[in-house]
Structure 1
């Protein structure tokens, strides 16, 4: 090395530091690349993505190759820098200068800077790096194979195998977080729909059903004229028929079938009962994703929800499940509210006591608890352990609520002041 000039040694040192930076950035870029985006590009026959995927199929070999190259150039850089320091600073100060100076240079120019750049732009680093890493893998494969054989043997002692490595699959919660934090990559409406689909496992038929007392049904024991009038004025395409009590349900009749009988002058109570379709029952604890599959398998669009004793608790339709995913069906582009909600000029909200708590949270972006009772009336009564009188006020889950109207057995109307809501963190800071 004595025959090589100092200026040439500086050039060699600079080249070695650049090589070290290349290996460092390649390692970070390869390990930081988005695996799902990479798989998508591989499916699209993207050449660079295919090269990178081939290298990442065996990450132990890739890391072995990069570290072999990185350590070789760093050791070579240390020898060259040591020779330069000995020439410039002598035998005493040379080792001190090369230790401190080369450590600083490698950290800044060969480690921190290239790795930070690769972490910020992994695709821009990994794709071009793969052009050199692929032939290097073939050239240095015997060395990589030996190193991996030793390291894999050591890992086997602690019962770890590279073949058992995580294949980057996501569970439902991880996928939900990925979708939620996708930002501008997915439109907000599409992101909300995807999250709603993932949340179907957390929602049951009881959560979205039409309560028993709100089911539109016809008593077949009524006068025939009353039955005709109810069918003509029905706002639903399918109507439930029952005898005396809704617990004695007969079945659903499609208004289209009734109109067909009417057109043929065959419309009577007897023919109407013959046109009744069998009832589909589902437990109130059925998760929505299962209920949707059951509707599909049974070719049903409507069903009655029963409790553990077989008593009818409500009614659920395929449309209710779809609305849970995509939101309310409406032709208006303006914000609309359900019939249970009336927003006042002062910002307060009049809410019907029978309103579903989950629907209120979705519609008004509130945070009322949903673990217990399903209606606002049930939530307040459970909290107070009593049915309050009019003008009684209570703070529930941070929301000031005033009882506007109540009867002996339920709360009919309440006034909520959502702009006074305070989160748990706000209340904790006040304490």
Structure 2
């Protein structure tokens, strides 16, 4: 059925123009929603710092994504419904009852191509640029529609609450770390991000989730100075030690009375002896407690992030770790925390240690039981869980729910674990193979 020429009048062209304008507005709303939600806040922040007002406005309106999306969707639905209604009225006038089906077909194609796919494709390709451009206009839209959106938000939250669903307003903030970690893992798997770069960034992000007890040097491995030792023995011990700072105890190792710095000790002993022309016998009167600094104790549950801030604030690099009863658990240094980010830091005074991971001829790996799970994962690019245990030995004992014996084999988390060496109840070596 051909439309009559008498029906194509001024009203026809006004309606057609209104439909086209509404399609443009629909495309604007669709593209704006995609650009503002897909753009990187980090990149927008960098542009805003350089003076971009559009980027600054985009950051402001994306602070409340729920209100932003509600306003954009409200505007988009208004123009889409109005455009469809005008098209239906226009096609019904031209083609009669068949105009309803024809209007549905035509508007579906027009909305899909020109109001959805085209603007969203451009917005995804140029998200930050598009977000900066549309932010000032969308800001006005959000302000105008905010009362309606607020009412809709209350209604939606009320309905969701009836079904036991709670909306966390800080969920987007809490997801930032997971988003960064996921992007790093994806980039590493695709060969875009180097393993070392991934480990450094993830190490820095993990500082707030890890406690000092996870990386501290256990008290059984701490080198200490007995305050009651002869000054000559103390001097000899400090000269042989690779460490700059040593805890000083009296009567028993649990009773830490101070921490001595090697330079302070040498200066004090040099002065006590009387300098170059002095008498070494005068060292017998030397009292190390007068040289030692007050010990700095920290709880074992302190996070690495907090402890690093305390080290920087106090201009200190050394702390003794205690449990809830005040008993000595170990020690931690600023270098230990930094190594969680950049990896092992070695200098000319560090004692060379054997390689902690040895590959056997049959393709398995011999690893010390005391090696932390995090270090193993970083060295081998594995993903063993470290929620319940800090070391490989601890993980095996936790999963086995027993103290294993030499030769015992376990399989969990996609790996085969064989106990190859023990010292008392302590598992000292494991043979591991991915399944």
TM-score (norm 2): 0.73
- Name the counterpart of 1:300: 316
Residues 189 and 76 of structure 1: CA distance in aligned 2, closer, same or farther (over 3 Å) = farther
In structure 2, distance between residues paired with 1:35 and 1:217:
51
- Name the counterpart of 1:171: 173
1:241 to 236, 248, 254: 248
Per-residue displacement from partner, 1:183-210 (whole Å, max 9, x unpaired)? 5698765554443333223211211111
Per-residue displacement from partner, 1:25-82 (whole Å, max 9, x unpaired)? 3443354242623344233222443565677787466665555555554444444444
Q: How does 1:194-343 map to 2 (within 5 A)?
A: 194-264=201-271, 265=273, 267-268=283-284, 270-330=286-346, 339=354, 341-343=356-358
Per-residue displacement from partner, 1:78-115 (whole Å, max 9, x unpaired)? 444445x52xxxx3544443343433443344334434
- What SS does the corresponding residue of 2:286 show, helix, strand or coil? helix
- What SS does the corresponding residue of 1:171 show, helix, strand or coil? helix
- What SS does the corresponding residue of 2:254 show, helix, strand or coil? strand
- Name the counterpart of 2:51: 45
Per-residue displacement from partner, 1:163-202 (whole Å, max 9, x unpaired)? xx99888434x12123224456987655544433332232
- Name the counterpart of 1:355: 371
- What SS does the corresponding residue of 2:7 show, helix, strand or coil? coil
Residues 154 and 399 of structure 1: CA distance in aligned 2, closer, same or farther (over 3 Å) = closer
Which runs of 5 or more residues in structure 1 are unaligned?
A: 423-431
- Say whether the 8 Å CA contact 2:91–2:100 is kept in structure 1: no
- Say whether the 8 Å CA contact 1:38–1:53 is kept in structure 2: yes
TM-score (norm 1): 0.73
1:413, distance to aligned residue in structure 2 (A): 3.1
- Say whether the 8 Å CA contact 1:24–1:70 is kept in structure 2: no
In structure 2, distance between residues paired with 1:340 and 1:255:
29
1:106 to 105, 111, 116: 111
Which runs of 5 or more residues in structure 2 are unaligned?
A: 1-5, 159-166, 275-282
Aligned positions, number? 397
Q: How does 1:79-98 map to 2 (within 5 A)?
A: 79-83=89-93, 85-86=94-95, 91=96, 93-98=98-103
- Say whether the 8 Å CA contact 1:27–1:63 is kept in structure 2: no
In structure 2, distance between residues paired with 1:329 and 1:244:
34
In structure 2, distance between residues paired with 1:329 and 1:293:
20
1:263, distance to aligned residue in structure 2 (A): 3.6
For the aligned residue pairs, the C-alpha RMSD in angstroms reads 4.3
- What SS does the corresponding residue of 1:291 show, helix, strand or coil? helix
- Say whether the 8 Å CA contact 2:222–2:330 is kept in structure 1: yes
1:28 to 26, 33, 39: 33
- What SS does the corresponding residue of 2:239 show, helix, strand or coil? helix
- Name the counterpart of 1:180: 181
- Say whether the 8 Å CA contact 1:81–1:102 is kept in structure 2: no
Per-residue displacement from partner, 1:345-396 (whole Å, max 9, x unpaired)? 524333333333443333333444434454444444553623524x444435
User: Which stretch of structure 1 is more off in the superposition, 344-353 or 210-219?
Assistant: 344-353
- Say whether the 8 Å CA contact 1:29–1:125 is kept in structure 2: no
User: Which stretch of structure 1 is more off in the superposition, 39-48 or 284-293?
Assistant: 39-48
In structure 1, distance between residues paired with 2:202 and 2:130:
32
- What SS does the corresponding residue of 1:100 show, helix, strand or coil? helix
In structure 2, distance between residues paired with 1:28 and 1:348:
52
- Say whether the 8 Å CA contact 2:19–2:86 is kept in structure 1: no
- Say whether the 8 Å CA contact 2:246–2:259 is kept in structure 1: yes
Per-residue displacement from partner, 1:223-271 (whole Å, max 9, x unpaired)? 4443222111110111122235311323211111122134432555624
In structure 2, distance between residues paired with 1:134 and 1:398:
50
- Say whether the 8 Å CA contact 2:84–2:107 is kept in structure 1: no
Residues 179 and 386 of structure 1: CA distance in aligned 2, closer, same or farther (over 3 Å) = closer
